[in-house]
């Protein structure tokens, strides 16, 4: 089982990664790999580049782990590569296809893949990578400086597309990504709820247009650990409000801090545990 609130179990056919943005500065997986390396864990004995990675955290594929989901007797919600990024450039295209083949062959499970490299996902799709219907794809977005990842995510035909805004280290406006398309009447409205919709060039004709949000789920959480950066409450509230208005499931994972459990998981007195519908 997993200690991550929004999944049931983790599956790591790849381990290791490299830091590429501010959200990676205090990577929990890098710190955990260092401990596992010191303990002699077999999967964590290759060291990564000390400038971007660390002891036991070199990108490593584990072919033997590919068979694990086939052995699970009951359906599970599976977070793929909690200790890596499946779409890291050092993970070969053939191995990515092998992981997708396992996912497609086990439709009883629902798989959640989270990446900071959705641009590579888009390129692999253009080269023939096919997304199984039981695979959710998300990208990590820690602040407004990396919203290009959302642009890339929206070009990928995943059944569920989601954001992990954890650690949230700055304000983030996702409204334009929730509804990226304009009214087909050409009036410029992006959704019927726009305040000026009935006064625009189409004279309110787009009121019957019902666009579906381009994002299916948003996770928000503060950073944890001894060097945790503070998450402003208004950053979390703003994302919650944007999701509520758009009808997008919102999951508030934690406030964070040195001891995250002490700060709790409630936002304005409520627990936000919304998730997309799991179909098995």
Q: List the domain range (segments joined by +) for residue 156.
A: 9-179+214-271
Determine what percent of the chain is predicted with pLDDT higher than 70. 92
Domain count, the chain: 2
What per-residue confidence (pLDDT) applies to 211?
Answer: 82
Same-domain status, 50 and 137: yes
Same-domain status, 145 and 205: no
Residue 34's pLDDT band (boundaries 50, 70, 90)? very high
**Residue 189: C-alpha distances to residues 94, 197, 208 (Å):** 43, 6, 12
User: Has residue 37 got a pLDDT over 80?
Assistant: yes
Q: Is there a domain that residue 66 lies in?
A: yes
β strands within 58-170, DSSP E: 60-61, 77-80, 110-115, 135-140, 160-165
Higher pLDDT, 180 or 167: 167
Range scoring the smallest mean pLDDT among 40-49, 169-178, 180-189, 231-240:
180-189
Sign of the alpha-carbon torsion through 140, 141, 145, 151: positive
Numbers of helices and strands, H then E, in the chain: 7, 11
Same-domain status, 94 and 204: no
SS3 42: helix
Same-domain status, 202 and 118: no
What per-residue confidence (pLDDT) applies to 199?
Answer: 61
Same-domain status, 31 and 83: yes
- Which tokens belong to 19? 């830091």
What per-residue confidence (pLDDT) applies to 67?
Answer: 97
Q: Is there a domain that residue 199 lies in?
A: yes
Find out whether 249 and 273 touch, Cβ atoms under 8 Å: no
Q: Is there a domain that residue 278 lies in?
A: no
Same-domain status, 198 and 257: no
Q: Is there a domain that residue 2 lies in?
A: no
Find out whether 99 and 78 touch, Cβ atoms under 8 Å: no
Q: Is there a domain that residue 277 lies in?
A: no
Residue 190's pLDDT band (boundaries 50, 70, 90)? confident
Question: Which residues does 55 contact at the CB level (< 8 Å), separation at least 6?
Answer: 33, 34, 37, 38, 47, 48
SS3 135: strand
**Mean pLDDT of the region 234-259:** 96
CATH number at 38 reads 3.80.30
121 phi and psi angles, rounded to 5 deg: -60, -50
DSSP 65: G
Range scoring the smallest mean pLDDT among 6-20, 46-60, 111-125, 251-265:
251-265
């Amino acid at each position: 089982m997993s200690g991550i609130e929004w999944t049931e179990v983790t599956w790591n056919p790849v381990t290791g990664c490299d830091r590429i943005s501010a959200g990676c500065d205090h990577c929990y997986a890098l710190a955990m790999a260092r401990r596992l390396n010191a303990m002699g864990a077999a999967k964590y004995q290759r060291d990564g580049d000390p400038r971007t990675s660390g002891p036991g955290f070199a990108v490593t594929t584990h072919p033997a782990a590919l068979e694990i989901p086939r052995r699970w007797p009951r359906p599970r919600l599976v977070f793929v590569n909690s200790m890596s990024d499946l779409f890291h450039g050092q993970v070969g295209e053939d191995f990515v296809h092998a992981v997708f083949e396992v996912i497609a062959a086990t439709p009883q499970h629902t798989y959640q893949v989270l990446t900071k490299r959705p641009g590579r996902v888009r390129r692999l799709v253009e080269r023939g990578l096919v997304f199984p219907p039981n695979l959710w794809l998300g990208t990590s977005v820690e602040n407004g400086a990396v919203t290009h990842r959302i642009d890339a995510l929206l070009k990928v035909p995943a059944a569920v597309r989601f954001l992990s805004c954890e650690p949230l280290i700055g304000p983030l406006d996702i409204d334009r990504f929730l509804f990226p398309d304009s009214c087909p009447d050409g009036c410029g409205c992006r959704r019927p709820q726009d305040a000026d919709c009935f006064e625009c060039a189409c004279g309110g004709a787009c009121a019957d247009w019902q666009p579906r949000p381009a994002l299916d789920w948003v996770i928000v959480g503060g950073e944890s650990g001894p060097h945790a950066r503070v998450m402003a409450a208004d950053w979390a509230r703003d994302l919650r409000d944007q999701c509520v208005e758009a009808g997008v499931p919102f999951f508030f994972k934690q406030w964070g801090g040195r001891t995250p459990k002490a700060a709790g998981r409630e936002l304005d007195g409520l627990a936000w545990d919304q998730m997309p519908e799991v179909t098995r």
